[in-house]
């Protein structure tokens, strides 16, 4: 897929104000600092589209970016921010879970994982939650340029093994770098393929 246009549409704090679910949508999510904004900018080849390195954990916004006037990238607030209070964490859970669980046009959740790290409990728990809800997701390993491919492969193997403790099949995964554009063509092709089969879901208009 060639990205011809990418524009910011809206930031939402309320699920009720999202754009109508008439276009295929892909949600990007992961721990704060995993490289989510960088990855989104890399995919659409637009440097400032998603802001990078903002103070993490502060805003709870769902950002919609409209790509090729045909599909949405959704930037979700990062999880696992160490300094967030219990109340903040609970609020995050409810907000994000409601969006993921209810969004009719959501096609796939892109779960970002830092390829330099050993499997993290919070990432595995999130994958398990997606599995319980029957939501389709893929793993996107980030920052692969920061280490040898051997090290990346080792961490991916460990993550897969950990996932297989609860899943019958390991989810599909991509290895990426926002610095070198590794994984860009593969992710865009993956999205393009799903877009081709998209039919507008039945939904209740909010007038």
Q: Which does 183 bind (CB under 5 to 8 A by kind): ligand GDP, Mg ion, none?
A: none
Cα-Cα-Cα-Cα dihedral sign, residues 20, 195, 132, 161: negative
Q: Shortest Cβ distance from residue 27 to ligand GDP (Å)?
A: 14
- Of the pair 37, 178, the CB lying nearest Mg ion is at 37
Query: Within 10 A of 86 (CB to CB), how many other CB atoms are there?
Result: 7
Q: Which two tokens stand for residue 130?
A: 């997606």
Q: Please report whether residue 179 would count as binding ligand GDP according to CB under 6 A.
A: yes
**Contacting residue, 6, 18, 27, 34, with ligand GDP by CB under 6 A:** 34
- Judged by beta carbon, residue 12 or residue 152, the one nearer ligand GDP is 152
Q: Is 36 in the site for ligand GDP (CB under 6 A)?
A: yes
6: helix, strand or coil: strand
Question: Are 178 and 49 in contact, with CB atoms under 8 Å apart?
Answer: no
Q: Does 178 bind Mg ion (CB under 5 A)?
A: no
Residue 160 parent element (H or E): helix 149-163
Residue 146 touches ligand GDP, criterion: CB under 6 A: yes
The sign of the dihedral angle between the CA atoms of 147, 148, 153, 158 is: negative
DSSP string spanning 102-151?
H-TTEEEEEEEEETTSPPPHHHHHHHHHHHHHT--EEEEEE-GGGS-HHH
Partner whose footprint covers residue 184, from Mg ion, ligand GDP, none (CB < 5 to 8 Å by kind): none
Please report whether residue 38 would count as binding Mg ion according to CB under 5 A.
no
* CA distances from residue 105 to 45, 114, 182 in whole angstroms, order as listed: 24, 27, 27
Q: Cβ closer to ligand GDP: 24 or 56?
A: 56
Residues 73-112 that bind ligand GDP (CB under 6 A): 78
Told to check if 145 binds ligand GDP by CB under 6 A, we report: yes
- The reply on whether position 37 binds ligand GDP by CB under 6 A is yes
Half-sphere exposure of 163 (CA within 13 A, CB side): 25
Contact residue for Mg ion among 24, 25, 34, 37 (CB under 5 A): 37
Q: Smallest gap, in angstroms, from Cβ of residue 20 to Mg ion?
A: 26
| Both tokens assigned to 141 | 């390993």
Q: CB of 40: closest distance to Mg ion in angstroms?
A: 8
The residues binding ligand GDP (CB under 6 A) are: 32-38, 52-53, 56, 78, 142-143, 145-146, 177-179
């Amino acid at each position: 897929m060639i990205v011809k246009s990418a524009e910011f549409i809206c930031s939402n704090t309320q699920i009720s104000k999202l754009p109508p679910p008439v276009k295929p949508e892909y949600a990007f999510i992961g721990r704060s600092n995993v490289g989510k904004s960088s990855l989104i900018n890399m995919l659409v080849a637009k440097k400032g589209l998603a802001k990078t390195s903002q103070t993490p954990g502060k805003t709870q916004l769902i950002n919609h970016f409209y790509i090729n006037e045909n599909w949405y990238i959704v930037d979700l607030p990062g999880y696992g921010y160490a300094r967030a209070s219990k109340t903040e964490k609970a609020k995050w859970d409810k907000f994000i879970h409601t969006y993921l669980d209810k969004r009719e046009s959501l096609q796939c959740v892109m779960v970002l994982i830092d390829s330099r790290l050993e499997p993290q409990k919070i990432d595995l728990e999130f994958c398990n939650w997606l599995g319980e809800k029957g939501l389709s997701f893929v793993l996107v390993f980030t920052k692969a340029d920061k280490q040898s491919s051997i090290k990346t492969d080792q961490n991916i193997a460990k993550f897969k093994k950990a996932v297989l403790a609860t899943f019958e099949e390991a989810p599909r995964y991509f290895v990426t770098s926002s610095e070198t554009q590794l994984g860009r063509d593969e992710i865009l092709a993956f999205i393009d393929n799903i877009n081709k089969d998209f039919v507008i879901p039945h939904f209740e208009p909010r007038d």
